[in-house]
Amino acid sequence: MKEAMLYTRAADQKAECVLCAHRCRVSPSKRGVCGVRENQGGTLYSLVYGALIAENVDPIEKKPLFHLYPGSRSYSIAAMGCNFRCTFCQNHEISQLPRETGDIYGKATEPETVVERAVQSRSATIAYTYTEPTIYFEYAYDIGKIAHSRGLKNVFVTNGYMTEQTLETMGSCLDAANVDLKSFSDAFYREHCGARLQPVLDSLTWMKRHGVWIEITTLLIPGLNDTDGELEQIAGFISNLGTDIPWHISRFHPRYRMTDKSPTGIDIIHRAVEIGRRSGLKYVYSGNVPGDQGENTACAHCGQELIRRLGYQILRNELQGAACPRCGTTLEGLF
């Protein structure tokens, strides 16, 4: 355990957490929505500090991040828990267990050890992923500071449900993020995620304004968030935020409590990609469709294919530094 950051002590020994947009008011001996922050005698503690539940060396494309050191390795870690309860969660075995049973597992690992392993693996980044990194913020923050001192970049793969206080604290060592924009409907967020839409939009706006490289992922679920109208709303929001922001449109496969839905039709993915392009977005990608042409990166100015992919594998990279070899246009991102 470690005393939490970003909370205040309230009356009756309650603790007011300001880590995420739920802003839980936690009574003594109780936990917040995430299931991993507990009030003990008026002091809020993180129950997952240093408790790794997952640790892998992944291609950065798996996050997915296509404009961040393409072809590089990313040392990817997670602790248990989540502040969402998505009915379609892909990693529910580790994200939802603390909420459902109260159980928390993990292998004790110091921040310095994580960074050293990342360096030894020749990774360019550390990705805080698999579960929601906001809920193990103290651990990610300590790792992130050390990672920067060793020349590594830090990446959040996140639902974007953090407060401005959290973003301002982590912002000094957060270099990039892939943010899930799961829908443009507040009702969808309330019913299927146990959350709200606006805080996610606010986080994306903050990150863009403060120079964090962002890419956005939307998992298309048949009949729930795949209408032309909603896709146009999502694409329009991203375009207004920045036409250089890559949008990953990902194919749904039945998981967790949503096994009654069919996988997303590839035609729906292609339709969404076209909507994104019509909205002025320079880089729109199809996800979970290996071999699809929508995985590739083309120059937004002349159309030259710059990076060809197959799943998480780079087949060809034509970039000259960060520029198109044909017209010299710089590809937005970190290279």
What is the Cα–Cα distance from 17 to 71, expressed in whole angstroms? Answer: 38
Q: What's the pTM? A: 0.97
What pLDDT sits at residue 93?
Answer: 94
DSSP class per residue in 307-322 = EEEETTEEEEE--BTT
What pLDDT sits at residue 153?
Answer: 98
What pLDDT sits at residue 151?
Answer: 97
Q: Which residues of the chain have pLDDT under 70?
A: none
User: Average per-residue pLDDT in the chain?
Assistant: 97
What's the DSSP call for residue 70? Answer: T
Given a contact cutoff of 8 angstroms between Cβ atoms, the answer to whether 82 and 95 are in contact is: yes
What is the Cα–Cα distance from 47 to 41, expressed in whole angstroms? Answer: 15
What is the Cα–Cα distance from 35 to 53, expressed in whole angstroms? Answer: 15
What pLDDT sits at residue 259?
Answer: 95
Given a contact cutoff of 8 angstroms between Cβ atoms, the answer to whether 179 and 185 are in contact is: no
What pLDDT sits at residue 290?
Answer: 82
How far, rounded to the nearest angstrom, does the alpha carbon of residue 259 sit from its chain's CA centroid?
Answer: 23
What is the Cα–Cα distance from 166 to 160, expressed in whole angstroms? Answer: 11
What is the Cα–Cα distance from 326 to 303, expressed in whole angstroms? Answer: 9
What pLDDT sits at residue 7?
Answer: 98
What pLDDT sits at residue 291?
Answer: 83
Given a contact cutoff of 8 angstroms between Cβ atoms, the answer to whether 111 and 148 are in contact is: no
Each residue's pLDDT tens digit, 236-254: 999 999 999 999 999 999 9
How far, rounded to the nearest angstrom, does the alpha carbon of residue 218 sit from its chain's CA centroid?
Answer: 11
